[in-house]
Amino acid sequence: MTAIMEFLDIINAFVWGPPMMIMLVGTGIFLTLRIGGKQFTKIGYGWKLLLKGLLNKDLDQRGEGEITPFQSLTSVLAATIGNGNIAGVATAVAAGGPGALVWMWITAVFGMATKLGEATLGVKYRVKDKDG
């Protein structure tokens, strides 16, 4: 049993160690360069759409779906952020000190490009069924 646990510890250290961090941040850097830094260049446009959807009370301009773009955004953010990120920040600061926040912000900037790619591919290849 101890041999199995030692083997699993080795696998765990490899999968969740520096190689995974390098792959995640490296993918974010690659996508940031490839898409031209859209998370920086289009932030004003994003805020414009957010505020337009938040302040627009006209329900006839919703388009195909039954919810507004703002409602869609808030539900996606609730699913993406969740409680784990709140507890994760507290754990990182407790374990690594306040400097951990700097690295979390740097990682988050490049993670935005990964999330953009994820969302774009999800919308492009989605399949609508009879319920929408």
Q: What is the pLDDT of residues 87-110, one digit of tens each?
A: 888 898 999 898 999 988 888 888
Closest CA to 52 of 77, 69, 64, 74: 69
Retrieve residue 51's tokens: 């505020």
Provide the phi-psi class of 44: left if phi over 0, else alpha when psi is between -120 and 50, else beta.
alpha
Token pair, residue 70, equals 């703002």
pLDDT above 90 for 69:
no
pLDDT of residue 65: 66
Work out the pLDDT band at 64, boundaries 50, 70, 90: low
C-beta separation of 98 from 104 below 8 A: no
Question: What does the angle CA 48 – CA 41 – CA 100 come to, to the nearest 5 degrees?
Answer: 100
Tens of pLDDT, residue by residue over 13-57, are: 888 888 888 998 899 999 999 999 988 898 898 888 778 767 765
Instruction: Return the axis-axis angle of helices 99-124 and 18-34, rounded to nearest 10°.
Output: 60
**Beta strand ranges found along the chain (DSSP E):** none
> Measured between alpha carbons, how far is 90 from 68 in angstroms, rounded to an integer?
33
Indicate the domain borders of the chain: 41-81, 83-125
pTM of the predicted protein model: 0.68
